[in-house]
Amino acid sequence: MRFFCDTNVCSKAASLVGDGVSWPAVKASLAERGFRYVVCPLVIIELMEGLVLSRPEYFMEHRKRFEVLRLDATEYLHLPGRFAVRALYDVDTALVALGPADYKQWVDTICRAGSLEQLRSGVPAYASNLVSTGLDIQKLLSFRQAGSGHHRSRMEAIRAAKTCADAPHAWALSMLRSLGIIAKDKSDLDRFVEALSAAYAYELCLIKLAANTGYRFDAKERHGDRIDSEILFYLAAPDMHIVTDDENLRKRCADSPQAARVLLLKDLSY
């Protein structure tokens, strides 16, 4: 069995805030029960966004979050869509060029940097200073920002049209097409719907908010909605678990039996 933490757990553990203090003990307890700790690239991207948007003098504080994230990691995962189709159909998508080795390199590079400026200009890749690596984090984050903008526009269009949610098979077909995968038959769609039931339940929750309420999808505190919906794609693997400090994440996918694999940090701390 595998588990990863989401962004809020990582940040609170690094800052020793609230239940974040118990994160090392929780990890150790899960490891004793046979779980392996893995790293989700969506968490890396969210932490990178926080790093870029923060003032340079807080760089070391943000770096500590990456150090917490990578400690004891046995595996770095693919991005959610690619992870899901590999888990379900044992096929890959050509639409995503990056992979686990890239995400690990991002984290390792950040953890070697002594400042935000050094991270941009170049960090020694090895013991020698002859080879260095830098990260154009703003460029990396531009893809996330574009995706977030698309998500907000889509939800606002649903609000304007009072659109009902796609039926499960139509949703599955749309998701697979966005990944460059053509379903062979109805059984492929059945497998996708069943394996991503938590992600679909979360989608339904957001659509209801868009159609029936004044929920502000453009508000700063709502920017994590899209990431949360995508993070549930990892539950496509039946051995995967998510540890979170966000009760809303589990509440929004509660109609799916997979919600049982969304573990609240506070419940694991005692």
Q: Describe the crossing of helices 168-178 and 186-195 by its angle, rounded to 10 degrees.
A: 90
How far apart are the two ends of the chain, measured CA to CA in Å?
21
Nearest-angstrom CA–CA distance, 127 and 203: 47
pLDDT tens-digit profile, the chain (270 residues) = 999 999 999 999 999 999 999 999 999 999 999 999 999 999 999 999 899 888 999 999 999 999 999 999 999 999 999 999 999 999 888 777 789 999 999 999 999 899 988 888 778 766 555 555 667 766 666 666 655 666 566 666 666 666 665 688 888 888 888 888 888 888 999 999 999 999 999 988 888 877 777 776 665 655 667 788 899 999 999 999 999 999 999 999 999 999 999 999 999 986
The pTM for the full model equals 0.88
Report whether 226 contacts 151 (CB < 8 A).
Answer: yes
Q: Establish how many alpha carbons lie within 13 A of residue 10's alpha carbon, considering only the half-sphere containing its beta carbon.
A: 30
The residue extents of the domains of the chain are 2-268
Question: What does the pLDDT look like over 86-105, one tens digit per residue?
Answer: 999 998 887 777 899 999 99
Contacts 24+ apart (CB under 8 A), 20-29: 20/245, 20/265, 22/265, 22/268, 22/269, 23/68, 23/265, 25/269, 26/243, 26/265, 26/268, 26/269, 27/72, 29/268
Nearest to 197 by CA among 261, 255, 263: 255
The pLDDT of residue 129: 54
